[in-house]
Amino acid sequence: MIVQQCGKQAQPAADGKSTLLLRVCFIILFILTASQLNVPRVSAEGVPVLIYHEVLDSLGDPGETRISLDRFREQMKYLHDNGYTTMSIDELAAFMKGGAAPEKGVVLTFDDGWLSIRDAIPVLNHYRFKASFWIFPGTGIGYPHMEWPEIVEMAGNPNFEIGSHSLTHPWRSEDLVTWAEGKTAGRTLADAAREIGESKRILEKMLQRKVKYLAWPRGVFNERLVEVAREAGYEALLTTREGANLPGDDVFRIKRIFVDGACDMEVFARTLKDHKYYRCQAVRQHAGGTLLQANASSHPGPSSSVSPGQ
Ligand SMILES: [Zn+2]
């Protein structure tokens, strides 16, 4: 009815009544156009960033850094069927700086460039999901990690991004912080800075595109390393501090949440809602010699377990 009236009022209006109707028409048209264009709404609860490592076809022991291909497929189907929209790191950073995001936005990250990620890619492509892959080009190329041609091919996928995960991914008893603080013999802040800057340079040279983001190996960093990374030209940094990312949050401290491959779909759904890291991996209790299954306990912060994967 109103739209019909609007059509009739397309003629030039001479009186005040017609002018008012025209104004109402413009407002209605604006609302209709905005809804048809599916203008993104700001996600009130923030955007979770999920961390994956290995996605394995045959799996012995799922856990913090390992998930079966079947469970991974289930999780991606869940995201699709429940209206989640995957976002790139570019889109996440823009959202954190005050931009819009889908109502159910989520970011998928895959650390270390494991060879097994090859099996996850067709699943991501099936849903046209966006994802980022974090490579350490100093020692993380070739078995058991992907080769350059595979990484270059991934970089060519418009839905995928490649980021730095340092140069050699120090682990076990050392990390970039112990290097920077002089707590690792023979390593200094300059060595940590080289890990940050050289990995960017090598990735950019091999991929022929700008590498704007870095995910801290093992999730470990300090204020000085953040400064070094900013000076090296990174525009955002990814941690393993759990929680969702909101407008106004610091893009140099992007929160991420581990997805423990041993958790069931109910826990996965809970992770997406409360943005906490739940540990489900079987843990061996030495006291009494019994093997206990951790009951989807929420983990308070970055993992303390030692894994080359983080
Ligand atoms: Zn890692």
Confidence of residue 8 (pLDDT cuts 50, 70, 90): very low
Each residue of 206-263: pLDDT tens digit?
999 999 999 999 999 999 999 999 999 999 999 999 999 999 999 999 999 999 999 9
Confidence of residue 90 (pLDDT cuts 50, 70, 90): very high
Give CA–CA dist 218/149, Å, rounded: 26
Question: Counting every residue, how long is the chain?
Answer: 310
Mapped onto helix, strand or coil, the DSSP state of residue 32 is helix
Report, as an integer, the average pLDDT of 187-202.
Answer: 96
Cα 169 to ligand 1 centre (Å): 7
Amino acid at 168: T
Looking at every residue in the chain, the average pLDDT score rounds to: 83
Report pLDDT for 27: 45
- Measured at the CA of 146, the angle between CA 110 and CA 143, to 5 degrees, comes to 120
Q: Which two tokens stand for residue 76?
A: 């991606």
Q: Kindly give the interhelix angle for 223-231 and 189-207, rounded to the nearest 10 degrees.
A: 40
Report pLDDT for 309: 53
Cα 267 to ligand 1 centre (Å): 23
Name the more confident of 16 and 46.
46
Cα 49 to ligand 1 centre (Å): 15
Confidence of residue 44 (pLDDT cuts 50, 70, 90): low
Q: Which residues contact 271 (CB under 8 A, 6 or more apart)?
A: 48, 50, 257, 259, 263, 277, 278
Cα 308 to ligand 1 centre (Å): 7
- Among 85-99, 170-184, 188-202, the range scoring the smallest mean pLDDT is 170-184
Cα 172 to ligand 1 centre (Å): 12
Give CA–CA dist 152/142, Å, rounded: 13
Report pLDDT for 43: 52
Cα 219 to ligand 1 centre (Å): 8
Q: Which residues contact 32 (CB under 8 A, 6 or more apart)?
A: none
Cα 299 to ligand 1 centre (Å): 18
**What Cα–Cα distance (Å) separates residue 236 from each residue in 34, 90, 211, 213?**
31, 9, 10, 5
Cα 310 to ligand 1 centre (Å): 3
For residue 310, pLDDT over 70 is answered with no
Cα 174 to ligand 1 centre (Å): 13
Report, as an integer, the average pLDDT of 103-131.
Answer: 97
Cα 304 to ligand 1 centre (Å): 14
* Cis peptide bond upstream of 12, omega within 30: no
- Among 49-53, 55-59, 191-195, 270-274, the range scoring the smallest mean pLDDT is 55-59
For residue 140, pLDDT over 50 is answered with yes
For residue 10, pLDDT over 50 is answered with no
What's the burial of 156, exposed, middle or buried (CB within 10 Å: 0-12/13-18/19+)? exposed
**Which domains does the chain possess?**
2-36 (no CATH), 49-299 (3.20.20.370)
Report pLDDT for 37: 41
CA 30 to chain centre: 34
